[in-house]
Amino acid sequence: MKFIIQFGIILTISFIGEVLNRVIPLPIPASIYGMAILFTALCTGALKLSAVKETGKLLITLMPLMFIAPAVGLIESWDIMQEFIVAIIVISIVSTVLVIAATGHITQIIMKLKGKEGKR
């Protein structure tokens, strides 16, 4: 019963994200709205972590299964992608490096801010 309630909470938040995606005319995916709502609710204490923890762990363990369908789609469209393979590889490498660099910089900024708070 606990999993059903927790899954219901997650689905409700995802549904709210879908509604926001339809109402707000920004090119932001509904899943991002849902994650932002869940993150905000957890950070503010409006939602306790224990209210979604077990189901969240279960969904994370099942996440690799969610990549099977997109992988099959990529394999099926190989003939279309083949002519763009160099561009795809370059874009993948550049975007990966940018994400790593941005994550590193943001982490350093947060660590510096936390260090300043600890010295007060």
Q: What is the Cα–Cα distance from 29 to 34, expressed in whole angstroms?
A: 9
**Residue 64: pLDDT over 80:** yes
pLDDT in tens, 4-58: 999 999 999 999 999 999 999 899 999 999 999 999 999 999 999 999 999 999 9
Domain ranges of the chain: 1-68, 77-120
| Strand, coil or helix: 25 | coil
pLDDT in tens, 87-116: 999 999 999 999 999 999 999 999 998 887
Interacting residues of 49 by C-beta distance below 8 A, sequence separation 6+: 42
This prediction has a pTM of 0.64
**What is the band of 117 on the pLDDT scale with cuts at 50, 70, 90?**
low
